[in-house]
Amino acid sequence: MSAPQSEASLGRPRQTLGLVDMLALIVGIVIGAGIFRTPALVAGMAGSELALVAVWVAGGLLSIIGALCYAELAATFPHVGGDYHFLGRAYGERVAFLYGWARLAVIQTGSLALLAYVCGDYLQMLLPLGSYGASLWAGFAVVTISALNWAGIREGAAAQRWLTLAEVGGLVLLIVAGFWVDRAPETSGSSARGSVGLMLVYVLLTYGGWSEAAYLSAEVRGSKRRIGIILVGGLALVTALYVLANLAFVNALGLAGVARSEAVAAEVARAAFGSTGAGLIAAAVAIAALTSANATAITGARTSCAIGRTFPALGWLGRWDERRDTPGNALIAQAIVALILVVAGAFTRDGFALVVDYTAPVFWLFLLLTGLSLFILRRRHPAIERPFRVPLYPVTPAIFCLTTAFLLWSSLAYTGWGALAGCGVLAVGGLLLVFLKPVPEESLP
């Protein structure tokens, strides 16, 4: 039997990231373009302002519960692979590969391409480049972000800090604008109640991304207990901003006005700042999308790197550049797949809802498996040191798993052919496993 690839031969991540870096990544990846789009969809189903606020608060609390579970896993088993590593320990490397394949083929690269397109759409409004301008801007965003992070984690983390600061500043400005204008009069309109499950699918999608912190667990300086503090603190900040944003939107447009709006943030900005509002919100959305895209590139490449460290046939993906402290080859592979999706999107772009259909079932499936892995690993490794323990075990992880299972069911019940396409990608990954052999489990670093 050939010797497995070791961390020494592939390169080893170092602890280079501080608390501010991690907080910027969590807040930056969560506050994406979704908060400028999702409130209108949720408002149309909420039926009342109280229900609207309640579902956004519930989304924040459920995300924090999930973050506590991830904090224990990341603190106990810090690894560049994050969820990939947890799933491999709990269920074996073949299940983990399916997850890594889904991230490389759809979830992460698809998110990167979509965020680049959102950024491109709004940059095209500010600096038009012709009929294919949005695609050109999107491709430029993918290349720039990937090159920046290929240059090194310091460069990528520095960009993330500044982008997050600008992103939060833009959202705070929008919140102030919403409360600044006179409260909109109540009008009758579309306020029919929708499914709580469907509302939570959209709300939790807007909160999505907090789990990406697990992919940097091996690179965090100081005690691993800090991971839990960073995750909870970051999500508490995001929850406060999201609730305030929705209240500001309702104040400016009314609940029915928010529900009818196709560009709620732009309408609020226009009401507060006049004709200059459209330009301000275009810049804010572009920055938000770029911030999330940068964080997505940082964490997504680390999954691909973990695959290469487990499957020798893909060892080139697993090489870690110790001089730059970054998985250079994995970043290049991720950028290529994302660029292919951008090119395809130039001819067949199907919109926000289709992306939810395509990615949500696969995402919730693996999030559920990760939640269940906490129970499995507690039983399998009872004596291992756990720098952070999820409070109120087993109640807290049980709530997380039950919620995730409900959202998996909801995403399948309310989606169409896009969900089948996502499942098809998993099937292709299953076929690849016929030809790919993992290193023995006892040899894994």
Q: Running along the chain, 445 residues long, what does each successive block of 10 average in pLDDT?
A: 46 65 79 80 85 92 92 85 86 87 79 79 80 83 88 80 84 88 65 68 83 69 74 90 93 87 79 78 81 82 79 79 80 85 66 60 88 95 90 94 88 68 79 75 47
Which residues 6+ apart lie within 8 Å of 171 measured at CB?
31, 35, 241, 245, 284, 288
In a domain, 166, yes or no: yes
Q: Are 35 and 199 in contact (CB under 8 A)?
A: no
In this prediction, residue 183 carries a pLDDT of 76
Candidates 345, 251, 309, 237; CA nearest to 20 is 237
Find the Cα–Cα–Cα–Cα dihedral 147, 148, 152, 156, rounded to 10°. -140
In this prediction, residue 396 carries a pLDDT of 95
In a domain, 382, yes or no: yes
Q: What DSSP character marks residue 4?
A: P
The 3-state DSSP class for residue 1 equals coil
Give dist(CA 286, CA 129) in Å, integer: 16
Tokens 């088993």: give the residue. 77
In this prediction, residue 4 carries a pLDDT of 44
In a domain, 329, yes or no: no
Give dist(CA 120, CA 67) in Å, integer: 31
Planar angle of CA 259, 260, 263, nearest 5 degrees: 95
In this prediction, residue 223 carries a pLDDT of 63
In a domain, 109, yes or no: no
Which residues 6+ apart lie within 8 Å of 144 measured at CB?
none
In this prediction, residue 133 carries a pLDDT of 81
In this prediction, residue 59 carries a pLDDT of 92
Name the amino acid, one letter, at 40: A
Which residues 6+ apart lie within 8 Å of 310 measured at CB?
88, 93, 96, 97, 318, 438, 439, 444
Domain count, the chain: 1
Residue 259: CATH number of its domain: 1.20.1740.10
Domain that holds residue 377: 17-104+152-272+352-439
Give dist(CA 265, CA 245) in Å, integer: 9
Instruction: Give the number of other Cβ atoms within 10 Å of residue 153's Cβ.
Output: 22
In a domain, 131, yes or no: no
Q: Are 418 and 110 in contact (CB under 8 A)?
A: no
In this prediction, residue 343 carries a pLDDT of 79
In this prediction, residue 41 carries a pLDDT of 83
In a domain, 278, yes or no: no
In this prediction, residue 194 carries a pLDDT of 60
Q: Report residue 32: phi and psi, to 5°.
A: -105, -155
Whether the model pTM is above 0.85: no
In a domain, 83, yes or no: yes
